[in-house]
Structure 1
């Protein structure tokens, strides 16, 4: 993928299958691709559950005279190389389909013996019930924003080598709306960090009490950011969060 960035590599990136050059290239691609960021957000819970699942068994195990068969050895080598990049992803998606078909919830199937319990989040819910954006928000130190028309929310941020990573919590908003989280640099430069649609029912309002949690990224370094904004596609500012 080093020659060009593929949208289809979202799954490989989520499962940590890309080599260093491809990973850096794809992270740069994410900054300007809303669709890939949205797909990565959707796959993050699956990736957490499937982490550690090994590749499929060799479809050409050595036996009898085939053990020394050059053709058989080459075939096994080719299959192994193919699996190194794509096998785990294909198995992971199949496993995810099985979990969903069985009525299980992605993100709650982790074996308690495999890792220590995650930090308890908002409303007393354990981290295993949270999506990745909500968990990052719950474990961080939120910067509270100033909203309009009953909109409330906050932001948890961290500095990265490529820029700034953020998790947004948004409530008190009704749709239908198209919204974006924007970083505003001290120089005045504006960068879209992520975008989403608000359904008619809204988020964090009567009848739809759950707030919205979203991930976002900006190429602007955190030290150079003055504030963040949640704005509608029409340019209305719903929430302002100082950096």
Structure 2
């Protein structure tokens, strides 16, 4: 490769080569790491030169032979840069003032629209959390302490041995009976099931669930467990409903029994 090819880096960077020389240099550049490295170092310089117009270049050429002209040129450039920065600062300040004025006007308009009436805070809807009830407050659960009464016939029971409490609402449906129930003083961990015992001595498991270690309606977790189940038996066919605890071997033991 000729030495001229290596000397075309600056001309190529400045974009002064014709199409034929540009194509030739690019072929050379693809295989010459030295020219590629040199071209990379010239990129910032080319970016600076791109902002200089023809008149400025002519003035710079004249300053090469006239030192006084160089000083005047440099002073003019500095003054122009100061004026440019000042215009930018003034424009920014004006924008801030206008924006602030518009914001103040908009805020004043809103206040006028609202008028002197008192602002009433709307209630915030939050997700219920498990918190112990305050002393003296009534317990909450299905149909107890809530805004709406639960549909159905209510029956309650507390087992004297286990201490588990149950409140159940039996709703007669076309398909049988819907059972809405709430359990308290139910310790965990354990697996439980709801068994419906019919008057004809038949029985069926209508629901199963697991109780975490904190339990339900306990000192650790005050909230009671609320569930819904259903059975094909009509209300007058149900002899009793029993909540049972099932161990790892599948053996069930009663926790509380409710009789309609």
Task: Normalising by structure 2, report the TM-score.
Answer: 0.42
* Structure ID, larger Rg: 2
Larger RCO: Structure 1 or Structure 2 (Cα < 8 Å, ≥ 6 residues apart)?
1
